[in-house]
Amino acid sequence: MSRVRPTVLSALLLFSSLVHAAPAVPAAEGAWPRLRKERLQKLLPSAMSRAGVDAWVVLCRENDNDPLANHVGGENAGGTAAFLFLREGAGLRSVALSPEGEATALRDMGLIDEVVAVDRGADVYGLLAARLLKAKPAKVAINSSERMSVADGLSAMQRAKLEAALPPALRKKVVSSEALVSEWLSVKLPEEVDILRKAADLTAKLEEEAYRTVVPGKTRDSDVARFLKKRMAELGVGDGWQPDQNPNVNSGPTRGHSHATDRVIQPGDFIQTDFGIRVGGTWVTDIQRFAYVLAPGEQQPPAEALAKWEKSKKGSRIALAAMKPGVRGYDVDKAQRDWMREAGSEPVMWGTGHPVGYWAHDAGPALSGAQSGKPPTGSALRTLQPGQVFAFDGFFAWKDGSSPDALRILSVEEMAVVTDTGAEYLNPPQEQLILIPSSPAVTPAQKP
């Protein structure tokens, strides 16, 4: 891919961080086994208390495992294995009923308090029911959910076998683990937040680095995406979400969650890069950075383009200011959406933000719901807590003109962690557009 001469580009880029080398990859490799044990011991009991459950059952198996298997130590399951977590006062007791072939490895992990080796072919469901009867829980959470995929790992057959093994009185106490999973996964340990801070900084720096490769009239959106894929491979980091959609580089009308196309970048384009990486095999980021392609001879974007950028950026700042412990996700979304209406933005279907950490769209409060004009429901009603990490946007949208429904959207997406008193960015937010110059030979193809 052709490159703009560094002397020309460095004079036109707006902030100095672009000329610095990307930071090192966060030292997260090998940290997960230790941190997941700390999460079980320190965070799960309080999450169970807030969700109002006394017992949680996770059933694991080979090839089609529960989405949360790696969070409870069930990633090596061969035959059916049952993981039972019992709240005991402010503490927790964990039991694994595991096929004997994997029981030794489970004991070696030191993650579960009691590991019971089960003969292959034995009735794990009956043994689990006996344990639950002895514990006498008021409510038993199972991974079955209509709205949260990571809390819906129990197959229809697993659920049928479990319910058949439980006596009727205990069967009535079974509830979805959705509330518990949301309470537990959404809160990150301080060390996890530190890992995410470093990963977010790396993500943003790589996006800025990629923009330095753009040659208007030649570079395609897909070229920018391939550059980022190359850098990911060089640094040894994974994809924050589906590899074929990460990164999504788009210089034209909005395309939602999708892959980068072969559209050629032109003067007058805003370029949106939506990008996330995975570090330590566990923690993911979700950050967007925006550039503007100057027309030949321009030193700054037109006033209209800058005004759109500033309105989008202000929406992001308004959302951050609304993020406080005890506030509903809906209220954060409404604050940003009220500004969109005041700023003259077209409506946008997506919510302001979402939890991020183990998945790009993690479990926890959804910063959404106000776009519908209806009363909030579901995850939008959940309240924010210290330690929760969010990716969130400031939106400004306008009609593209190429078709009646086509929109262009600026969505200044940053990551932030909720603190005891409010929220703070994980890494420095984007304050100014990244400016990309055009050579005199390039003719502007469109207006902002």
Q: What percent of the chain has pLDDT over 70?
A: 92
pLDDT of amino acid 397: 94
Q: List the 270-275 sheet strands across, edge first.
A: 248-250, 270-275, 287-293, 434-436
pLDDT one-digit tens code per residue, 402-447: 777 788 899 999 999 999 999 999 999 999 999 999 987 665 544 4
b/e burial code for range 188-207 (CB count within 10 A of at least 16 → b): beeebbebbbbbbbbbbbbb
pLDDT of amino acid 440: 77
Alpha-carbon torsion, ordered 294, 300, 303, 305, to 10 deg: 40
Q: What percent of the chain has pLDDT over 90?
A: 83
Write down the pTM of the prediction: 0.91
Give the pLDDT mean for 144-152.
95
Given pLDDT bands bounded at 50, 70 and 90, which one contains residue 121? Answer: confident
Given pLDDT bands bounded at 50, 70 and 90, which one contains residue 203? Answer: very high
Answer yes or no: is pLDDT of 21 > 60: no
Contact 182, 404 (CB under 8 A): no
Q: Give SS3 for 98.
A: strand
Give the pLDDT mean for 282-287.
98
Query: Where do the domains of the chain lie, and which CATH numbers do they carry?
Result: 30-185 (3.40.350.10), 187-437 (3.90.230.10)
Give the pLDDT mean for 349-356.
95
Give the pLDDT mean for 142-146.
96
* Percentages (nearest 5) of helix, strand, coil residues in the chain: 35, 20, 45
pLDDT one-digit tens code per residue, 258-267: 788 999 999 9
Q: Which is more confident, 222 or 15?
A: 222
Q: Please choose, from the candidates 314, 311, 318, the residue with its C-alpha nearest in 3D space to the C-alpha of residue 334.
A: 318
Given pLDDT bands bounded at 50, 70 and 90, which one contains residue 7? Answer: very low
> Which DSSP letter does residue 220 get?
B
Range of weakest confidence among 14-18, 25-29, 103-107, 347-351: 14-18
Answer yes or no: is pLDDT of 299 > 60: yes
pLDDT of amino acid 22: 52
pLDDT of amino acid 280: 96
Q: DSSP letters along 355-392, please?
A: E-SSSSS-SS--B--GGGSSPP-GGGGSBP-TTBEEEE
Q: Please choose, from the candidates 429, 345, 417, the residue with its C-alpha nearest in 3D space to the C-alpha of residue 388.
A: 417
Given pLDDT bands bounded at 50, 70 and 90, which one contains residue 11? Answer: very low
- Cα separation, 73 vs 70, whole angstroms: 5
pLDDT of amino acid 258: 77
Answer yes or no: is pLDDT of 36 > 90: yes
pLDDT of amino acid 407: 87
Answer yes or no: is pLDDT of 132 > 50: yes
Given pLDDT bands bounded at 50, 70 and 90, which one contains residue 256? Answer: low
Alpha-carbon torsion, ordered 414, 415, 417, 421, to 10 deg: 0
- Cα separation, 44 vs 293, whole angstroms: 48
Q: Please choose, from the candidates 101, 86, 92, the residue with its C-alpha nearest in 3D space to the C-alpha of residue 135.
A: 86
pLDDT of amino acid 13: 40
Q: Which is more confident, 15 or 331?
A: 331
Chain-centre distance for alpha carbon 386: 17
